[in-house]
Chains A and B, each alone.
Chain A
């Protein structure tokens, strides 16, 4: 059964295995298959069970079994492990069953006799995974577990996609169960006799197929920033930061986006380009200027900014965005800094909205729900997600795992998790296993593309000088 489920998994997929039979799937998945196993307690990319005598007592899966951590694995917290599940990073969950129904209902956390159950992580996985595979014995001592209706409390309603048992492989369709494979030596009729729901037989019915799929490697490493940003469409929501200055800002990607020319962009950022007009990043010569968001503003590529510090600290040196704003060319949504970080964190964590005490009674409260908790007023703030995130990290491995250096972590960390496509600009790309799994800050499951900043690259470029507004 575990081998049959292993055959369902694809390279690059993030897969959670529930306790019981599902944990065996990791043992039947070849290490080079490129499947990333996720465990509730915060491991990504774990491998088969540890051999006897080679157990690391600090390395267990969700069932408490000692597992291995092959090169490219990463460690995160419990909180982050579930944030990934809620935010759609989990491709497949494989869960065991007490009962499973033809409608795709699953019951596995509680028997009514006990009176109280153990939801564990099963409810979260079943709700959050893009695909739910149930692996179970076909019967419990002869009593069918595959039923028309579950009588036990549900783990999830209508979420199951595929049921793999010791006798059969069944797909859950809008029209009941479709029998696709039967185990060697079993007939359709004998399987039907042990199933508590009607089975339609697939035209392609075959004997259970344990062939493990071969898939080409997933390549996240792009040769240049231009190629990595080529598909950014007009109107995209871009998460792109760098906390004001030079550190942590993806200059190489930003220059490529300027050259690519996408327009009508919404930029979510702490600033919208004040490095050039502030003390952040003094250029080495007068004909050079610090690269920041201004290069996009000046090309007319930005339609709207969501930012906390959009204006220059110096009234006599307004930023390109300020000037565009005064001309009525761009829109601005002002957010306080902690709230921006939290809204992005929510976007990357499957949190739709949250109540925060920040900003009550100020301009940022306009139009927002206000509610009291424990005697203090809170605002309801909504999550932000991007179509693309450009993040600046120090090193990446070829699986997209990232480490940052110094304060370059800033907003990059939350942005990396909050976009559909995250592109990382790094100083160095290394092979999996070079980065310590405990030191990885952004796991590769959040990162779609990686680009190395050229060895000879300056964050200062010969671009047009700052306009003086006549007051300075």
Chain B
């Protein structure tokens, strides 16, 4: 049983992720990657997921990341910025070519800003058009201040699974160094945010000026399990 926002295990914190959910997965590389929660989602088995994650590489046996969920057949759509290096083949590409997996790629700055737009309750933001052909097809364009902009719509999720360093009982979070990456934006852009942390402290255990993600954005907190 959860006590307040504190859940006893990663499995219990992701038990209600339904088939077809839109799930943001935090992390850039290993820092900030919520590996325990992704492991829980693998075991839980929800299917038809839309997963939003910066990178999709080869699945690695020693790391729980989005590629493992793709490999496990749980993902029907992937929104990402990096699906292997330019000349590199990764398994997700075969699934995409076979029509089993939808893949939407976008520049990293646009992905981050779309999450931030959702987090800020905006209907959309005009950012300079950095897209190269053919990514910008279908986006509304407008010339503002003499520069072509695209209307970047907000990107929301049903769940955000994020990794952080320390959390208090109210869900306030700090990150260590580059653990931060997309996690604060994802935490604020999802209906239910689940954070995996290395340490849980009582309210007051984090200096208020050092809180990066305020607890109002965090619904569930899980202590990282030793690997």
| Residues of A in contact with B (beta carbons under 8 Å apart) | 19, 39-43, 56-60, 62, 64, 69, 75-79, 81-83, 85-86, 98, 108-111, 114-124, 126-128, 153-156, 342, 345-346, 349-357, 371, 373-374, 376, 378, 403-406, 437-439, 441
Contacts and interface: CB of A to CB of B under 8 A. Distances in A.
A345 B30 CA distance: 29
Nearest to B108: A121
Find the residue from B28, B121, B130 having the highest chain A CB count within 10 A: B130
Given A86-B127, A86-B128, 10 more contacts: A42-B180, A78-B108, A79-B182, A79-B185, A82-B109, A116-B96, A121-B81, A153-B134, A156-B130, A354-B123
21 contacts: A19-B85, A42-B181, A57-B31, A75-B178, A77-B181, A78-B28, A78-B108, A86-B109, A86-B128, A98-B86, A108-B86, A117-B83, A119-B108, A123-B109, A127-B129, A156-B132, A351-B126, A352-B145, A353-B149, A378-B122, A438-B175
Given A57-B31, A58-B176, A405-B209, A121 B123 contact: no
A352 B126 contact: yes
A462 B176 CA distance: 47
B158 interface: no
Which secondary structure dominates chain A's binding surface? Answer: loop
Given A78-B28, A154-B132, A156-B132, A58 B178 contact: yes
Interface of B: 28-31, 54, 81-87, 89, 93, 96-97, 103, 105-110, 112-113, 115-117, 120-135, 144-145, 147, 149, 153, 165, 174-185, 209-210, 212
B82 A120 contact: yes
A119 B121 contact: no
Given A40-B108, A42-B181, A346-B125, A155 B132 contact: yes
A79 B130 contact: no
A227 B160 CA distance: 48
B118 to A, nearest CB: 11
Contact of B124 (A120, A127, A354): A354
A351 B151 CA distance: 10
A436 to B, nearest CB: 8
A78 B123 contact: no
A266 B149 CA distance: 27
A438 B124 CA distance: 30
Contacts of A155: 132
Contacts of A355: 122-125
Nearest to B116: A79
A382 B178 CA distance: 32
Q: Which 9 A-B pairs have the closest CB atoms?
A: A355-B123, A82-B109, A124-B109, A373-B123, A127-B130, A378-B123, A352-B144, A121-B108, A58-B177
Nearest to B207: A439
A153 B133 contact: yes
